Structure 1
Amino acid sequence: MEPIIHGVLLAFGLILPLGVQNIFVFTQGITQPTLLKAIPAALTAAICDTVLIVLAILGLSLIVLQFEWLRLVLIVAGILFLVYMGRVIWTSPAANLEGTVAMPAKRQILFALSVSLLNPHALLDTIGVIGTSAVKYSGQDRLLFSLACIAISWLWFFGLSTFGSLLKRIQIPSGIFILFNKCSAVFIWGTAIYLFIGLWQELQ
């Protein structure tokens, strides 16, 4: 039970904080006309997390960290994408909240891929925390640890979509959701600024 409990607690600790991934998946639950139409975002995010977790546990991520230039490229790409993502969310029309101009499935998948794989925080958390924590286990214990982390990821993202969809059904005024979009955009831009400042200080 130790590797399972360890995996569950660790995955929850990494996934709970408000991040770009969580914001996007939750927003799709709100803006899509039905929960089913929000599945592409949650499914893509869960699959991306699964791939990152597996790579980290297999040790391939440790090889990536050895190349400083690659880490810097990931951070710069992540900053640029966060700025773009914030703009898209900020300018989202109120019509989205009624499900009339909802993001199509292909665009959901592309955005979910981007916020999952171009997010430096997600990459470094998965590589630096889950990857190193898995080192203490071997054989069946490592498998159980991996499955626990993956299971939490899938439950979390589908839970976020469901929660967003349920909130919309409560008939909360659309102005609340517009405000949520604005706050989400500000948070995303704040994350980009934080990463830029860290990168600037590192390069000095």
Structure 2
Amino acid sequence: MEPLIHGIILAFGLILPLGVQNVFVFNQGATHKKFTNALPAVVTAGLCDTLLIYLAVAGVSIIVFSFEWLKILLFLVGFIFLTYMGWVMWKNTPEVSANQEKSQFSARRQVTFAASVSLLNPHAIMDTIGVIGTSSLAYTGYEKWIFTMACIVVSWIWFFSLAISGRKIGQIDKNGTFLKRMNQVSAIIIWVMAIYMGYHLYSFLN
């Protein structure tokens, strides 16, 4: 149960802030009259996140488990990164601006753009490898894959939810107040995860 809850909370904490990837999926849901027309962006973002999460959990674990000092270093970096990331989220004021491009992307453009902001985004890579990958080190075997699947499922649910609710939120939240509050809640969740990672770091050192 612990890896499942940990994976869900961590994934939600990381994915809630409206970064470039999420804003794109959100806007595609808002600009297309039919939900199915925004599916290329949703599916591409989901597949890219699935790939990054899988590589982070599988690849980082193999390397880290071979070196105790590297495991401790990664937990330390993860703790610092989460703490800083929470602060950035708390201070950030997202905007769903009327000045953003409102043209409807074709399926090909959606796939291309969603893949680029997912796989070529250093922030997204740091989220998965630096946070989810290192967090998975607390688990082995069956529990590790429960944690991994929890992160992946949350990612897919969130992208679908963004596309479905994009138009409604965009119409109601004209000045970005709701999005700002959402980022602040996410920051608190991230800080809780930083404390959790710090606890594991303390355990390794004692």
> Which of the five TM-score ranges fits, normalised by the shorter chain?
0.5 to 0.7
In the alignment, the residues of structure 2 paired with residue 110 and residue 91 of structure 1 have an alpha-carbon distance, to the nearest angstrom, of 18
The Cα shift of 1:110 comes to 0.2
Deviations 1:137-159 (A, max 9, x none): 11110110000000000000000
Q: 1:61 to 1:40 in 2, by over 3 A?
A: farther
- Alpha-carbon RMSD across the aligned residues, in angstroms, is 2.5
**Counterpart among 143, 146, 152 of residue 144 in structure 1:** 146
- Tell me the TM-score normalised to structure 1 length: 0.63
Q: 164, 168, 173: which is aligned to 1:162?
A: 164
On the 8 A contact 2:61/2:137 being kept in 1, the answer is no
SS of 2:17's equivalent? coil
For residues 114-153 of structure 1, the aligned pairs below 5 Å read 114-153=116-155
Q: Alpha carbons of 1:38 and 1:61: their partners in 2 closer, same or farther (altered >3 Å)?
A: farther
User: Are 1:54 and 2:54 matched, yes or no?
Assistant: yes
Name the TM-score, length of structure 2 as normaliser: 0.63
Distance 1:31 1:107, change over 3 A: same
**Counterparts of 1:111 and 1:62, CA distance in 2:** 31
Shift of 1:62: 8.3
Q: Shift of the alpha carbon at 1:33?
A: 2.3
Which residue of structure 2 lines up, in the alignment, with residue 2 of structure 1?
2
What amino acid is aligned across from residue 108 of structure 1 in structure 2? Q
Aligned partner of residue 154 in structure 2, secondary structure: helix
4+ residue segments displaced more than 2 Å: 60-63, 89-92, 165-168
Residues 16-40 of structure 1, C-alpha deviations (whole Å, 9 max, x = no match): 1120011000000011121110011
Identical residues among aligned pairs (%): 54
Asked if structure 1 preserves the Cα contact closer than 8 Å seen for 2:60 and 2:134, the reply is no
Q: How many residues align?
A: 142
Q: Report the residue type matching 2:55 in the other structure.
A: L
Q: 1:112 aligns with which of 98, 111, 114?
A: 114
Q: Is the 8 A contact 1:34 1:165 kept in 2?
A: no
The structure-2 alpha-carbon separation of the partners of 1:166 and 1:51, relative to structure 1 and needing over 3 Å to count, comes to same
Matches of 2:131 and 2:48, distance apart in 1: 17
- 1:2 partner letter: E
Q: Give unmatched runs, 5+ long, in structure 2.
A: 64-97, 177-206
